[in-house]
Structure 1
Amino acid sequence: MANPINGTIAKPKTFGTADVLITCIAVLTLFVYADVLKFDFVSYDDRLYVTDNKLIKSGLSWDNILWALTTFHDANWFPLTLISHMTDVELYGVKPGLHHVNNVFFHTANSLLLFLFFRRVLLNHWTSAFIAAAFALHPVHVESVAWVSERKDVMSSFFWILAMLSYLRYIRRPGAARYFMLTALFVLGLMTKPMPVTLPFVLLLLDYWPLGRIRGISPELRPDICEQRPLKALIIEKLPLFIISASSAVVTLIAQKSGGSVVSLQNLPFVFRLENSFISYVKYIFNTIFPSKLSILYLLPAQIPPMQAIAAAAIVILITAVVLWKAAQLPYLFTGWFWFIGTLVPVIGLVQVGSQALADRYNYMPSVGLFIIAAVGGAALLKGVRHAEVIAAAVTALLISFYIISTKRQLQHWSNSITLYKHAIEVTHDNKAAYYNLGLVYAELGRYDEAIQYYENAIRISPEYCDAIHNLGIALMNKGKHDEAATLFKRVIVINPLYDKSYVAYGNILLNQNRLDEAMGKYKKALEIKPELPSALNGVGVVMALTGDPDGALGMFDKALSIAPDYTEAANNKKGALALISKRSSK
């Protein structure tokens, strides 16, 4: 084709090394995760985010978007995640396979964007490709990709990596518009999940290496992209980002406290949290190197053996000391290690949310730091070695093959709730939450004998596990064993006098035994604890109807339905109350 400016013949663009690598990474990622098309939703959070969430299931609307922007859903603020689930429903309905596919597309995009980012800063196709391929295919990332509820993880990371690419554009040619783009992408990431809160810190690490922006500290690595500046100037440059990070952290803490998710220091002392943090760091490293026993649930132990905590702390401190000692000679160690350590800080457990000790999903972006060390460090070790390229290719092929096989195997455990919890039981020790959740799944399927078995295992591990005891009682009720169930509900009330659901369940047993006054007492006690509990309101209404007060009963049913419009039992009872009122009026 002739060049219109000078008449020369323009050479056609060839399919270069970078294009081949990008294609391979994309194809392998899609191949590895193709099975998610056949996967179901799982009971753990997918109901909260999609299948039992009326607003999400109603799809996109201005009212729903406003709700997403203003609500603390599940003790968090992540409106873009909620809107993305609404969009899925709008496009596909509640079909699990297609919801899963969107997670895979985000993960694939993240892997390719990581390749583009590191290729620009490292100027090495193969090192960048290893980082991206390890990120794409490592089994530790299966949880983030195969779990519909973790859309927030892959989606927030998408904006995170775009923000890093935007940062490269900004430092190459600083300007208000480019800084605004960086800031906007950062905010979008935080609106999807608070995890990118550490991005300003990561940018400072990148300033040290591989960008070499810090005058007097960094080696001058990339003068073609940027020039060196004092560390103070670089911190001031990121001050707006740090302010946004701090604001996001405050909002997240408020949301989690309002949802009752934050564990108090009285219930979990700081020393215990610190010990668990060191152990978790070591486990994250171990799971990245030897990803053999990955689980959806890693529960906090009742006690931590002192020597285990000391050993873990020694490992983390020793590695940190070596990294600091070698920072000038091996700057990639500094950036990689502190990327890993720093990006895990918000979820390492110093502020404990929930009952998990750690989670694979938390290692989604932090693992990039370890992949940097492996890729750049591996290349450095082979420098000058005979046949280095052949050795590097062989080791890379073996690792990638191992990741593909391991990820394919790990992925199958996510096909449905039963396989997920059974795997958690197999690879963890005395996992009461996995037993309990598996019991819930079997109970919903009407397989009460199996449900009872798993509830009993959960109670064996934790004798005061009120949720398991209560649901064991419900399962026994469904098998007609009312006296045994009543004993369990009374046991729950003794353990936790504020457990409102057991008052209602015990009240229902008393109601079936025609002990109306006692049943009313239990329902009223539940309402003292939770004034707008629909099941308790319904119970009070039934007793009122049976004792000759259909008008009062009607008010209770109406109130229950105003709180839970789909409450079928209350709706049927309301019809009965109206029939009683109509019959009375016709006399």
Structure 2
Amino acid sequence: MGNGRKNLFAISLLLAFGTLAVYLPSLGNHFTTYDDPQYVTANDHVNSGLTLSNLLWAFTTGHAGNWHPLTWISHMLDVQLYGLQPVGHHLTNVLLHTANTLLLFWTLFGMTRRPWLSMMVAALFAWHPLHVESVAWISERKDVLSTFFFLLTLLSYSRYVRQRSKAFYLISLFCFACGLLSKPMLVTLPCVLLLLDFWPLERAQLKDLMAWRKLAFEKIPFFTLAIVVSVITVMVQYQGGTISSMVKLPLGARMANAFVSYFRYVLKFLWPTDLSVLYVHPGHWPSAFVASAVSFVIGITILALGCASRRPYFLVGWFWFLGTLAPVIGLVQVGVQSMADRYTYIPSIGLSVLLTWGLTELAQHKTQLLTLASAGALSVCLALTWQQEHYWKDGQALFQHALEIANHEFPNVSLQSSNVPLTSGFADIHFNLALALEKNGYLDDALRHYDETSNLKPNYLNAHYDQGVIFANQGKSAESIDQFRAELKLNPNNSRALNNLGTALMQTGEANEAFAAFLHALALDPANPTIHYNTANAYAKLHRWPEAQQEYEAALRENPDLPLVSYALAGALLAQGKTRDALVIYRKLLQSNPEQPQLLDRIAWILVTNPDPNIRNGTEAVRLAQHACELTHNSKPALLATLAAAYAEAGRFDEAVVTQKNVLNLISSIPNETGFKEASQRLELYESHKPFRDGSALN
């Protein structure tokens, strides 16, 4: 192996192991409460793994306001491999980022034959803290996956140019299609190919119009794919309600934010501090700041055009940055953020090329100084990346950090603020922080941030709902009712809020309103087994057993694999005297869970106390009751009482007496335990060689 090959191999190893090492901490991070539930943990299509129906869903859904089927499939594959253990999902992101780093190095080297400069660009890409969001956030799989195909497209395209191979052209087109199916942001890739035609592939001079027409014609299939995916994406985002209207954010404000964002992205690239998961959109930037940003962008653009013939890398790097950011620069506003670190994953490559080639040219006779400066810059990037990863350990750390940065940038936000995007952005931060705090058990803090969310944005959906859930779990029915009603004023068709409202109203005795809420919820979501189950429980609480039976059966029709519902249905049947039907259900449940003491006891009790001699079976009851007592180490008085009754029914009165005495001993040793008198009466029965057959005295 020659020195050149050895150097390339050494560079590849350095990039790969350096990237894996710096992102090692992210493998210990959890799923966050920000998008991870809808992308993975609470997405039934994803967390059930790779199935034919899930694959079909991936290609037809606009879930989460995006159309990216390959991203959905990659998440499904992770679940297939790792289940819902976050370490595996993080590992996939890290491996894809490492692969992207190596692809970028080899693609640039193949085009420029400059190994050390290509290495520097790849290292900046791999280790820059701006890219932590794309790698450490499981939901941003679309970034690392789409970039993998983006770089494969460039690599194949460069091979096509060098070898004039139609096969590599088709491979490049196929990789581009895969990239678009991973994230639509890649729609500007055909323009990147034209930039590369100028430099470093040198297929046309800047003023050679005939050559550019030919090259543009060559890209027609690429542009066609980009246009089709752009139309689909805009349609999906409009239908999902994620695109802000011109009323909320006028075109002038969007254009101003676009220039400001370009400027801020450059600053973040050069000085990557105060990085946040959500940069709040102020709605209107100060005029002086906008003017400075516009001057900066236009000035660098003029400079890039002016030196294009002498320094083509400058034009390519700058227009790569401008062009690949264009789809997410905010002219079509999606969400409440003004910018996002994840959007720089591909665009920053252009800045790295511009900076690396430019500084090398400026310091061509100061190699040692340039080497030291490069090593220092990369060391700082590594340290900042390591630090930034830790903010992504969970949602609480992530949004506490985001709130600190937002408060630093905009310290005077309040309910009276007339700036809608600004207050909406702060509301988003408070809401997501509340979600994370709730998940970690800090309920009082969570409630405070939910309140702050509603104060900043009174029509914020789900803030009242989540508060209601917390209050309901704390047994504060009245408070939960207030919150669910507040949520329903904002969204009267929220079936979850209606369902929970009905449950809370039943607890406070407001049965009529409760049933109205349940019926409304069922009308909105008739296939929801949980709503059917809760409605059935409400009927059961009022001893309306036929209606309860009907709703339990409806729940099981929607989802037969609900043991708790089956158990409740058997109870409703038993209450109506349908003992044989109840036993069928109990026995079926026992087959799937033979080690359940309460189920064993329930069947044994029926076999002992039922007035129908054709149902009573003392021998079987003894077997079941003995097993229930063994599983609980003979420590439960109720289960031992069933065993004593079973012995008596089977004619084994001596054992019944001994067992019933054990029941009395246990009852007397347990503080505040009731039932001593009844237990004594049963003992007298067994001592008189009489069985206990009182079906109304269920224990």
Establish whether TM, by shorter chain, passes 0.5.
Answer: yes
Cross-structure match for 1:462? 457
1:40 matched to 2:21? The reply is no
1:380 matched to 2:358? The reply is no
Superposed displacement of residue 382, structure 1: 1.6
Structure of higher CA gyration radius: 2
Q: Secondary structure at the match of 1:162?
A: helix
Aligned equivalent of 1:412, options 387, 390, 404? 390
Q: Secondary structure at the match of 1:474?
A: helix
Q: Name whichever of 473-482 and 183-192 sits farther off.
A: 473-482
Aligned equivalent of 1:394, options 372, 393, 415? 372
Cross-structure match for 1:31? 21
Q: Secondary structure at the match of 2:462?
A: helix
Cross-structure match for 2:240? 259
CA contact (8 A) 1:72 1:255 kept: yes
Superposed displacement of residue 161, structure 1: 0.5
Matching residue's letter, 2:241: G
Matching residue's letter, 1:161: L
Change (3 A) 1:13 1:389: closer
Aligned equivalent of 1:151, options 125, 141, 153? 141
Cross-structure match for 2:484? 489
1:476 matched to 2:471? The reply is yes
Q: Secondary structure at the match of 2:338?
A: strand
CA contact (8 A) 2:503 2:538 kept: no
Cross-structure match for 2:598? none
Structure 1, gaps ≥5 residues long:
1-10, 219-227
CA contact (8 A) 1:117 1:164 kept: yes
Per-residue CA deviations over 1:504-543 (Å, capped at 9, x if unaligned) read 4433332222212222333444556666666555554445
Structure 1 distance, partners of 2:476, 2:23, is 45
Structure 1 distance, partners of 2:270, 2:204, is 32
Superposed displacement of residue 230, structure 1: 1.0
CA contact (8 A) 2:249 2:283 kept: no
Matching residue's letter, 1:52: A
Cross-structure match for 1:318? 299
Structure 2 distance, partners of 1:18, 1:338, is 29
Q: Name whichever of 447-456 and 136-145 sits farther off.
A: 447-456
Per-residue CA deviations over 1:526-584 (Å, capped at 9, x if unaligned) read 55666666655555444555567655555545555666777888666655555555559
1:250 matched to 2:245? The reply is no
CA contact (8 A) 2:90 2:136 kept: yes
Q: Name whichever of 457-466 and 371-380 sits farther off.
A: 457-466
Q: Name whichever of 302-311 and 172-181 sits farther off.
A: 302-311
Structure 2, gaps ≥5 residues long:
408-412, 414-425, 582-611, 613-699
Q: Secondary structure at the match of 1:428?
A: helix
Change (3 A) 1:161 1:467: same
Q: Secondary structure at the match of 2:262?
A: helix
Cross-structure match for 2:602? none
Q: Name whichever of 531-540 and 21-30 sits farther off.
A: 531-540
Cross-structure match for 2:274? 293
Structure 2 distance, partners of 1:409, 1:252, is 35
Cross-structure match for 1:423? 401
Counterparts of 1:199-210 in structure 2 under 5 Å? 199-210=189-200
Aligned equivalent of 2:429, options 419, 431, 434? 434
Matching residue's letter, 2:340: A
Aligned equivalent of 1:161, options 129, 151, 175? 151
Structure 2 distance, partners of 1:533, 1:402, is 53
Structure 2 distance, partners of 1:355, 1:561, is 41
Structure 2 distance, partners of 1:103, 1:453, is 34
Superposed displacement of residue 460, structure 1: 4.0
Structure 1 distance, partners of 2:26, 2:131, is 14
CA contact (8 A) 2:430 2:450 kept: yes
Structure 2 distance, partners of 1:376, 1:12, is 26
Change (3 A) 1:81 1:271: same
Equivalences, count: 565
TM-score by length of 2: 0.74
Aligned equivalent of 1:213, options 181, 189, 203? 203
CA contact (8 A) 2:198 2:206 kept: no
Cross-structure match for 1:223? none
Change (3 A) 1:14 1:202: closer
Cross-structure match for 1:222? none
Superposed displacement of residue 216, structure 1: 5.5
Per-residue CA deviations over 1:465-519 (Å, capped at 9, x if unaligned) read 3422332233233333333333333333445555554444433332222212222
Counterparts of 1:125-204 in structure 2 under 5 Å? 125-204=115-194
TM-score by length of 1: 0.87
Cross-structure match for 1:4? none
Structure 1 distance, partners of 2:287, 2:523, is 43
Superposed displacement of residue 82, structure 1: 2.3
Aligned equivalent of 2:352, options 371, 375, 378? 371
Cross-structure match for 1:74? 64
Change (3 A) 1:263 1:578: farther
Q: Name whichever of 494-503 and 230-239 sits farther off.
A: 494-503
Structure 2 distance, partners of 1:167, 1:499, is 50
Structure 2 distance, partners of 1:572, 1:276, is 58
Structure 2 distance, partners of 1:558, 1:356, is 46
Superposed displacement of residue 87, structure 1: 2.4
Q: Secondary structure at the match of 1:292?
A: coil
Superposed displacement of residue 21, structure 1: 1.8
Percent of paired sites with the same residue: 38
Superposed displacement of residue 242, structure 1: 0.3
Structure 1 distance, partners of 2:522, 2:174, is 46
Per-residue CA deviations over 1:113-140 (Å, capped at 9, x if unaligned) read 1111111222222211111110010000
CA contact (8 A) 1:520 1:539 kept: no
CA contact (8 A) 1:341 1:366 kept: yes
Q: Secondary structure at the match of 1:357?
A: strand
Cross-structure match for 2:627? none
Per-residue CA deviations over 1:219-263 (Å, capped at 9, x if unaligned) read xxxxxxxxx961111000000100011111122223323333333
